[in-house]
Structure 1
Amino acid sequence: MIYIYRLANLLYRLRVPFLPWTLKIINRVLFSVSLPPSVEVGKNVTFGYQGLGIVVHKSARLGSNIIISPNVVIGGKGKGRPGAPIIEDDVVIGAGACILGPVRIGQGAVIGANSVVLTNVQPHTTVVGIPAREIGKMQTDVTSAL
């Protein structure tokens, strides 16, 4: 799945017509994932169950070392509301979560299963619920825990 996307993204950046979007459709049929070639995806991004049910907005940006569980939506809020999510590095997104609109998910954040994120999430924060709310913040400095 990710290899088909990487090839489609390369062809998209080289401005090859038609073929990148054909590869997107192949990914959709084979793996039930909607990952447009225009999406920026970093290194070591893991799509749970080969991307089963994952939908990503064409303008979204995904950082590196992200874990995305099945049935996640990373998308916009609809017509007339521009913007797409930016997911920074080292984020974990639980199954069924929806991240909608021009929001930024900070580095090391955890999005709980079935959460609906409509606002920015600070780095190293855990959010859950509908709408998502902060339930915890992780220690980022070892010396502050002593």
Structure 2
Amino acid sequence: MNAIALYRVSNYLYKKKVPVLPLLIKYTIFIVFNSVIPYSCQIGRGSKFAYGAIGVVLHSRCRIGRNVIIGQGVTIGRQLDPAGIPSIGDNVYISAGARILGGIKVGDNVIIGANAVVIKDVPENSIVAGVPAKVIKTIEVDIYQLLKNVY
């Protein structure tokens, strides 16, 4: 069993208003994978955690699209503004150690480089990297054609 499967079970139980079990599964994910993956966040179909989601921290209200790969040590959360929760589009690759913070939107078909700190909106079809993250390249093809054998 991996972290995404455990998340899916806890999210299903949460939506069905089953008490206690989603919380127990959340703590199981924390103990086994050293990650915080709340049952209340929204993770789209086909999304995966690389390396079993080791060290991943997600905000309880973040929204993650379909076919997203989240590397180890990634944080998706808010800054000081309590209303500012990130939203991740479809077909996004978030490399190891990246931080996505604040009320921003990451567009579809995006690659976020390793250890990037994303604090501004990311346009569709782009590659971002750096601290703070900046667009370093615009792409015309699906990111999974660039990232061979990743998905």
Q: Is 1:37 the equivalent of 2:35?
A: no
**Aligned residue identity for 1:105:** V
The separation in 2 between residues aligned to 1:100 and 1:125, in whole angstroms, is 18
In structure 1, the partner of 2:134 is 133
Q: Is 1:85 the equivalent of 2:86?
A: yes
- In the superposition, the TM-score normalised over structure 2's length comes to 0.88
- In the superposition, the TM-score normalised over structure 1's length comes to 0.91
Gaps of 5+ in 2: 143-151
Q: Percent identity?
A: 39
Higher Cα radius of gyration:
1
Gaps of 5+ in 1: 142-146
In structure 1, the partner of 2:14 is 12
How big is the shift at 1:81? 3.1
What secondary structure is seen at the aligned counterpart in 2 of 1:89? coil
**Residues 59 and 83 in structure 1, CA contact (< 8 A), matched pair in contact too:** no
Q: Cα deviation per residue 1:3-55 (whole Å; 9 max; x = unaligned)?
A: 21111101111112222111100011011121100011111112011000000
**Residues 115 and 131 in structure 1, CA contact (< 8 A), matched pair in contact too:** yes
What secondary structure is seen at the aligned counterpart in 2 of 1:131? coil
**Aligned residue identity for 2:22:** P
Structure 1 consecutive aligned stretches of length 4 or more whose deviation exceeds 6 Å: none
The separation in 2 between residues aligned to 1:57 and 1:77, in whole angstroms, is 11
User: CA RMSD, aligned part only?
Assistant: 1.3
Q: Cα deviation per residue 1:40-79 (whole Å; 9 max; x = unaligned)?
A: 111111201100000000000111111111100001113x
What secondary structure is seen at the aligned counterpart in 1 of 2:5? helix
The separation in 1 between residues aligned to 2:141 and 2:73, in whole angstroms, is 29
The separation in 2 between residues aligned to 1:59 and 1:84, in whole angstroms, is 7
